[in-house]
Amino acid sequence: MSGTHISLVALLWLWGAWLSPVLSSCTTGRPAECKAALSAPGTNLAGEGFDVVTMERKQAYVIDVDTWRKTANGTCTLCVNPFMEGKTQRLPAAVVDWRPSQKCNMRLASMVYDSSEAFVSSSQTEVLLLN
């Protein structure tokens, strides 16, 4: 093997080792595995209603986050979460694109608005800036 080939193999191995915790490995779990697994963190927030006037969660769900069985025989989607000590966690059937993320930004701001329209306009701008 040439030195260039060995370097390329080493580089690919390092890239794979770095990438593996970032990408979740999800599989279809057997019924017993599905029953034993806990729900993945944050999946209960998917589709939950939020009142932008009172800034409160409404506990009304547009997406069914309680049903995890994908088929009548009880299979489900199980994903390994590297941020939870590699535990296998269950996803709701409605969640199709989940990946673990360890990112938190906390920011506190104070603002007085003259109208609800001004508030909504400002909130839309903030969401666009955060994305």
Per-residue model confidence as pLDDT tens digits over 30-64: 999 999 999 988 887 777 787 878 888 888 877 88
* Residue 47 located in a structural domain: yes
* Residue 114 located in a structural domain: no
How much is the mean pLDDT over the chain?
76
pTM for this prediction: 0.55
Considering its fold, how many domains does the chain have in total? 1
From CA 74, how far away is CA 97, in angstroms rounded? 20
Q: Quick one: pLDDT at residue 8?
A: 53
Contact 84, 95 (CB under 8 A): no
From CA 66, how far away is CA 94, in angstroms rounded? 9
Averaged pLDDT for residues 107-117: 81
Q: Quick one: pLDDT at residue 83?
A: 87
Contact 64, 85 (CB under 8 A): no
Q: In this prediction, what percent of the chain has a pLDDT beyond 70?
A: 75
Amino acid at 121: S
* Residue 121 located in a structural domain: no
* Residue 40 located in a structural domain: yes
* Residue 68 located in a structural domain: yes
Query: Partners of 50 in the beta sheet?
Result: 57
3-state helix, strand, coil in the chain (%, to 5): 35, 20, 45
Residue numbers of the domain that contains 51:
24-102
* Residue 95 located in a structural domain: yes
Q: Are strands 76-81 and 87-91 parallel, antiparallel or unpaired?
A: antiparallel
* Residue 75 located in a structural domain: yes
* Residue 89 located in a structural domain: yes
